[in-house]
Structure 1
């Protein structure tokens, strides 16, 4: 895994916080997963792979009666059912750590019955890097103090696309940014000063999303107000 571009302030997990996670399962969690949490904490890669608070009951609660969705030997079902869900994807895949020394990570795909198995957490991230065609251009968006504002351009049954385009132009002319992703499609403008980004929905021209971290709220408020003022 290549080191990702970091957005905002990350919050690596402490030893005590990781021990709280290990206490929820009866098997040792992989070192590569521990090291990832100690380095980055919780967050998302490119808004497509979400590493969230682990849930030891997720698979059992939601798929206890539906394990036939995937090709799995009956003897292995208890291992998977007792797995620790550590991440999900925008497409509905479930990533879990299980009690297996050789392949302690599995992916339960949303659109396939073939379970995928991996030896390290880095291999899981590399798999999605390839699947989603990130081409190694990964960014990690921390969940630490995460807040979001959604500004809509929908006015009754209509969408004011002309206003959306005007606001977008004004934003580019007046607001400095640190980096941009998907510039030609759905641009996401990174602003490290507020620990987040401004996302323009260029396809539907219906909304602007502004993500920031609460400790940088004064900076975010200025940008939110900038957008709203130009909609008046």
Structure 2
């Protein structure tokens, strides 16, 4: 996958610490994924975070009837290791099953999905959201975000948003762009992140960067704020 910024792959020791959380064997390709990329999101849809052996018990222990599960499946789900979630509320867990060790608990369906390996999970969301295999990994390592609003004193200035949007593209170089037709995200590797334009409401610009590259990100943030202050002045 295309990666944004400096990733923080897990070490063998990190993997062993995760395995101490549960007696359930971890899928081999899931462990390899963590060793290659670490924690982060895929296309801001699938969020791969620190595994949590208590997530289901604490949040859904009394609500497993949300899904069509047999009593045996309820037990294995209750003891599952949560390894990822999605922006839409799906939950991905590893369960004690040799044939289908990964279970997906959908937010908007009562029917769980089962997978043999972690790559199948990625393929599922690739197909569901029609990414056409144009996937990118956005690391959680050392990241910060800055949100700049174009609503000042209760008034939204769409005209200024359009001006700054065009001016930024003239002064900042970027490597790739996603969602160009709706809410474009311009990938800027020198800040280890991106600039996201809310081109639908034209109300904000969001900047994600890595702390070790903050000085580069601050140049962009300062430019935007200076232009907004000029208008307000």
TM-score by length of 1: 0.97
- The aligned counterpart of 2:141 is 144
Q: Distance in 1 between matches of 2:13 and 2:100?
A: 26
Between stretches 194-203 and 157-166, larger displacement belongs to 157-166
Q: Please give the residue correspondences for 1:37-76 in structure 2 after superposition, counting only pairs within 5 Å.
A: 37-76=34-73
Question: Per-residue CA shift, 1:96-151, capped at 9, x if unaligned?
Answer: 11111110101000000000000010000000000111111001001110111110
Q: Distance in 1 between matches of 2:111 and 2:73?
A: 14
| Greater than 3 Å deviation, 4+ residue runs | none
- Are 1:158 and 2:171 counterparts? no
Q: Distance in 1 between matches of 2:87 and 2:151?
A: 25
- Are 1:101 and 2:92 counterparts? no
Q: How far apart are residue 13 of structure 1 and its match?
A: 0.2
- Are 1:113 and 2:110 counterparts? yes
- The aligned counterpart of 1:123 is 120
- The aligned counterpart of 2:79 is 82
Q: Distance in 2 between matches of 1:109 and 1:156?
A: 41
- Are 1:19 and 2:16 counterparts? yes
TM-score by length of 2: 0.96
- The aligned counterpart of 2:220 is 223
* Aligned with residue 31 of structure 2, among 30, 34, 59: 34
- The aligned counterpart of 1:202 is 199
Q: How far apart are residue 16 of structure 1 and its match?
A: 1.0
Q: What is the DSSP-based 3-state SS (H/G/I as helix, E as strand, rest coil) of the residue aligned with 1:202?
A: coil
- The aligned counterpart of 2:4 is 7
Q: Distance in 2 between matches of 1:6 and 1:203?
A: 26
Q: Distance in 2 between matches of 1:220 and 1:157?
A: 27
Residue segments in structure 1 that go unaligned for 5+ positions in a row:
none
Indicate conservation of the 8 Å contact 2:57/2:79, yes or no.
yes
RMSD of aligned residue pairs (Cα, Å): 0.8
Residue segments in structure 2 that go unaligned for 5+ positions in a row:
none
Between stretches 10-19 and 156-165, larger displacement belongs to 156-165
Aligned pairs, number: 229
Q: How far apart are residue 155 of structure 1 and its match?
A: 1.7
